[in-house]
Structure 1
Amino acid sequence: MMRANCLALILCSSLTACAASSDKSADSGNWWSFGGKEKVAAPAAVPKIDKKLTTAWLDEYEPQLREALKGSKMELERRQNVLVVTAPVDASFNADRPSMLLPAALGPFSRVAKILEKDRLTGVLILGHADSSGQVEANRKLSEDRAKAVASIFRLSGLNRDRLMLKGVGSDMPRAANDSSDGRKLNRRVELVLTPQETLVALLAQYNQPVVAKTSIEQIKPAKVD
């Protein structure tokens, strides 16, 4: 039940934030929405999840992704209709330059991107997270920069922008309490939410209707390597 609630919170928070960004041009760069054109009318009805298609996709890609992450510090979980890759910040980003990926993280991320680029119908939602230390806005910006660093690997591996969404959520969605060093370590992470594109659109729509119009896309720079 906790995992289900967590997934609902991810999707609800994601689409709510996306809707807000469509109203504020300053925030529009935080998201890449599915599709390549602006001001696309929202569908009249919430799209339905194709359970058979989604289950088949999960069954096909789960073992491939587990193999791609083998030997790394990253985790893979199957949560309802999605696969979630969790990358701990402490093992993935430079401590001195906190939005710069470590070389050890490039291999696993690149292998995941390489697997997914072959399937043009796969959707990827990248969420950056922080602990509650420091200023709220600084944490949100840092989590967004980390999400962008990971997204740039997917772009370099050939994934089109219309298959990617990203957001820095700061400390709004903790995995653990922030009152201990271990809890804060768990909360500093980047999550990849992976599923067929139509399924992700349907999930987002279920938690916030109507589906928001597609927003503008921000060009990002390739990931820096230490």
Structure 2
Amino acid sequence: MNKPKPVQFEHSKEITVPALKKINDNFNTVSVTEYTLKQHKLHQISFKNAVLFQFDKAQITPINVAELKAFAQAYKNENVGSHLYIVGHTDSRGRQIYNQSLSVRRSLVIASLLANEGIPDDALMLVAAGELLPKVSNKTELGRAENRRVEILAADSKELVKAFLREIDCSDIDSACERATLPIMDLKLNNNQLVIRNVELDSVITLAPELNKLDELADDLAQYSAVDVDKRYSLSTDKRRLSSIKGLSQRKILSIPITKRTTSFFKPEVRSPLILSEKYYYKLETEL
């Protein structure tokens, strides 16, 4: 008896949103990919040669702005998705924690430009992927340049986006791709400047398809609103869900047994004072 295949995101052959299809066809440097989970859509917008960053830099060149403005216009005019996740990436050079910080700065530049084009701040979120989700190998300079990028994920459900991020497996591309927890940050406008909300951060665990019950998620999204589904799923964070998994993929907490040794107690020895008899006193006096 054949086991049923696990539910996965499917790569659509056609882009069903006309404005995004137009962007994909008209800009050589922008690639739009449509994924579906049953009838639920998720779009990945990749700027192939447009939003490429120099090493250790977070600035984009003026030629990149046209593609971003076109996407912002498409987002406002058509049903592209209620949530935009701006995922920042770096190459593998440098410390991992620094690269995550650099990826935040890169994605914040893109998010700020989109906000300036009229996209509401509550629709924007940042994902600090750093070096952990390489697109190509980091072994060459050309590959490292391609990995310095920002991608946009658009969908109506936050959980749909998080499930998509969990399924990305680039372990066969580069050793920099590894299982890790990535922070997700909400944004807000403060004095006309886009800043990260100072609240408890969300997160997503990469390379963790065992956390995705995609069939249940798809059914819930079909029956209820995406907002209701996201609220219910967000009650259990990725870290809590990971700890509840049973099977080979669950990592046990490292516990080191403590050997208790009995403390040695030494009984103090009390010595009696030396007392000389009278004969010794007499002998000493005669010798003197």
TM-score (norm 1): 0.58
Q: Quote the Cα distance in structure 2 between the aligned partners of 1:76 and 1:182.
A: 22
Query: 1:10: which partner in 2?
Result: none
Question: Displacement, 1:125?
Answer: 0.8
CA distance in 1, matches of 2:134, 2:126: 17
CA distance in 2, matches of 1:173, 1:134: 15
Unaligned runs of 5+ in 2: 1-7, 167-183, 195-288
In the TM superposition, what are the counterparts of 1:189-208 in structure 2 within 5 Å?
Answer: 189-195=149-155, 197=156, 200-204=157-161
Instruction: Quote the offset at 1:176 in angstroms.
Output: 2.0
**Residues 119-145 of structure 1, C-alpha deviations (whole Å, 9 max, x = no match):** 586321110001101222222122111
Is 1:74 aligned to 2:5, yes or no?
no
- Among 126, 129, 136, the alignment partner of 1:166 is 126
Shift of 1:93: 5.0
1:83-162 residue pairs with structure 2 within 5 A?
Answer: 83-88=43-48, 91-93=50-52, 95=54, 98-119=57-78, 122-162=82-122
Q: Which has the higher contact order (CA 8 A, sep 6+)?
A: 1
Q: Which amino acid aligns with 1:201?
A: K
- CA gap of 1:66–1:97, structure 2 versus 1, over 3 A, is farther
CA contact (8 A) 2:86 2:111 kept: yes
Q: Answer yes or no: is the 8 Å Cα contact 1:93–1:100 preserved in 2.
A: no
From the superposition, tell whether residues 205 and 153 of structure 1 become closer, same or farther in structure 2 (CA, over 3 Å). Answer: closer
User: Which residue of structure 1 aligns with residue 5 of structure 2?
Assistant: none
8 Å Cα contact 2:47-2:151 kept in structure 1? yes
Fraction of identical pairs, as percent: 21
Seen in structure 2, the aligned counterparts of structure 1 residues 95 and 146 have a Cα distance that, compared at 3 Å, is same
C-alpha distance after superposition, 1:170-221 (max 9, x if no partner)? 00111222222233233221110112x2xx224157689xxxxx98645474
Could you say what secondary structure the match of 2:20 adopts? helix
Q: Which has the larger radius of gyration?
A: 2
Q: Distance in 1 between matches of 2:185 and 2:100?
A: 20
Residues paired across the two proteins, number: 160
Query: Mind listing any 5+ residue stretches in structure 1 that lack a counterpart?
Result: 8-54, 209-213
Q: Which has the higher strand share?
A: 2
Aligned counterparts of 1:175 and 1:103: Cα–Cα separation in 2: 24
Q: What do residues 20-41 of structure 1 show as CA deviations (whole Å, max 9, x unaligned)?
A: xxxxxxxxxxxxxxxxxxxxxx
Offset of 1:95 from its aligned partner?
Answer: 3.4
Partners of 2:19 and 2:133 in 1: how far apart?
Answer: 28
Where 2:33 maps in the other structure, the secondary structure is: strand
Q: Distance in 1 between matches of 2:23 and 2:64?
A: 12
Normalized per residue, which structure has more helix? Answer: 1
Query: Which residue in 2 is equivalent to 1:186?
Result: 146
Give runs of aligned pairs for residues 29-40 of structure 1, distance below 5 A.
none
Contact 2:47 / 2:149 at 8 angstroms: preserved in 1? yes
- Any idea what the Cα deviations from partners look like across 1:95-129, whole Å, max 9, x if unmatched? 38821121111111011111212358632111000
- Alignment RMSD: 3.4
After superposition, give the CA deviation of every residue in 1:57-101 in whole Å (9 maximum; x if it has no partner). x61x2x31232352342221122331111124x643563882112
